[in-house]
Amino acid sequence: MSLYGMMRTGVSGMNAQANRLSTVSDNIANSSTTGYKGASTEFSSLLMPQTNGTYNSGSVETETRYSISQQGALTYTTSDTDLAINGEGYFIVQDSSGQSFLTRAGSFTSDSTGNLVNAGGYTLMGYSYGDDAPSVVANGFAGLEAINVSSTDMQANASTDATFSANLDAGEEIIEDTMPGDSGTSASVDDINYTHKSSLTTYDSLGNEVIMDIYFSKTSETEWDVAVFNKADADADSGSFPYTSDALTTQTLTFDPDTGAIVDGGTTTAAIPADTITNMPDVFTFDFAGMTQLGYDFSVTEADVNGNGASVVTGVEIAADGTVSAKYDNGDTSALYQIALGTVTSPDNMDVLSGNVYSPNAESGDLQIGFAGSTAFGDIVSGALEDSNVDLASELTTMIASQRSYTANSKVFQAGSDLLETLVNLAR
């Protein structure tokens, strides 16, 4: 056995334990860092070629691993822009140079420009809402935008569609006289026959309320006529007929005689001339697909209209699927962005960079992007932060064990040094 080899082995053992203590110190220092993922040191032996009668001591090698895929506990806060992921996935963030990374550090606040930025200085990314819900670019960062919540302008959005569901009383009598849907009617309220009436509040592009009166008239055991009028055209005294303009739209609803479920006529479109309702969209869609005809009183179960009146943005709310919506002082909300999440096949193999961010590489696998709540991703929790996954008790235990191992390896080195000194003294 070579004395120098013995000493080199002792040195490699001390270096290995020093590396282990370095990961322990990082873990302890970041035990309170939001979204921090603990590091660990794994050991592997390096053996030297052996000859008959002689043993050549080798050394020990170390590899640092990170528990990136292990989730930490959630701590709840009072800020709506503090975000955590309950399940799989990582927030997509971007640095000042425009390079994208993945992270679980969700302590986001609005910077001077309104972008959501976390404690590491990285900007949260997502897809902007347009006329329709956004779609993802599944394998890349293209199309992502910085999520900005700075808008304080008064906003108004015109209504374009409404969902109206109600139960129509199957026990009502069939109407055979003049009904609201009869074209060109200008009869008084006493001459019009209908079964049920309700109203919907919609909005024009300036945020003004436009109330639509909806009349339901039973025409057979399985059919009902629907007629929609502009409330502003109603007679001032009666509040209904005669209207100064014809119905905006009419539709026939057909129901199954056995189940009472609607089988035809669930959607109707109103073409609104500019001179009929100013600042309204040319086409307005009514969804009656949830209507029923059962032996029960007329009752509205859903009345939902998009758009909103003129209102000031008072804050934001973030849903479990990552939809970022502006909250208005009148109680309405409007979707602005949807937060994108990313993942890879082997998260623990991603490159770990400063600021609690990770960069995919060849060993971690290809990047996949999607939305929270979908198959590969967990839910986003607003008003919560993910704690570090470091176990302090385990780290302190590891520190004591490494300290003892380091001391033992130093004794091996010292013994080799003493033996070498004895050997040198023989020549004196």
State the pLDDT confidence band at 176, using cuts at 50, 70 and 90: confident
Question: In the prediction, which pLDDT does 25 show?
Answer: 93
Question: pLDDT category, 246, cuts 50, 70, 90?
Answer: confident
Q: Residue 108: its pLDDT value, please?
A: 94
How do the domains of the chain map onto residue ranges?
3-67+389-426, 74-154+312-386, 156-310
Check pLDDT > 90 for residue 302.
yes
- Give the torsion sign (CA, 388, 374, 146, 144): positive
CATH 1.20.1740.10 given to domain 156-310 = no
- 292-294 and 161-169: which strand pairing? parallel
Highest-confidence range of 41-50, 375-384, 410-419, by mean pLDDT? 375-384
Residue 280 confidence (pLDDT) above 80:
yes
State how far Cα 365 lies from the chain centre.
23
Q: Output the pLDDT for position 147.
A: 93
pLDDT at 305: 92
For CA atoms 194, 200, 203, 207, the dihedral sign is: positive
HSE (CB half, 13 Å, CA atoms) of 271? 0
pLDDT, one tens digit per residue, over 162-172 is 999 999 999 99
Q: Is 72 exposed, middle or buried (0-12, 13-18, 19+ CB in 10 A)?
A: buried
Nearest-angstrom CA–CA distance, 12 and 62: 10
Residues near 163 by beta carbon (within 8 Å), at least 6 away in sequence? 287, 289, 290, 302, 303, 304, 305
User: Would the pLDDT of 133 be above 80?
Assistant: no
Q: Using 50, 70 and 90 to split pLDDT, how confident is the model at 271?
A: confident
Q: What is the percentage of the chain residues whose pLDDT exceeds 90?
A: 58
Cα separation, 318 vs 302, whole angstroms: 24
Specify the pLDDT at position 428: 66
What distance in Å separates the CA atoms of residue 148 and residue 117, rounded to the nearest whole number? Answer: 10
Q: What is the pLDDT of residue 257?
A: 94
The C-alpha atoms of residue 234 and residue 228 are separated, in whole angstroms, by: 12
Determine the Cα–Cα distance for residues 386 and 389; give it in Å rounded to an integer.
Answer: 9
Global pTM reads 0.68
Confidence of residue 94 (pLDDT cuts 50, 70, 90): very high
Whether the pLDDT of residue 221 is over 70: the answer is yes
Q: What is the mean pLDDT of the chain?
A: 89
19-23, Cβ contacts within 8 angstroms, sequence gap of 24 or more: 19/62, 19/64, 20/62, 20/398, 20/402, 21/399, 21/402, 21/403, 21/406, 23/64
Predicted pLDDT of residue 289: 94
Count helices and strands in the chain by DSSP H and E runs: 2, 30
d(CA 140, CA 342): 9
Higher model confidence: residue 212 or residue 186? 212
φ, ψ (nearest 5 deg) of residue 154? -70, 130
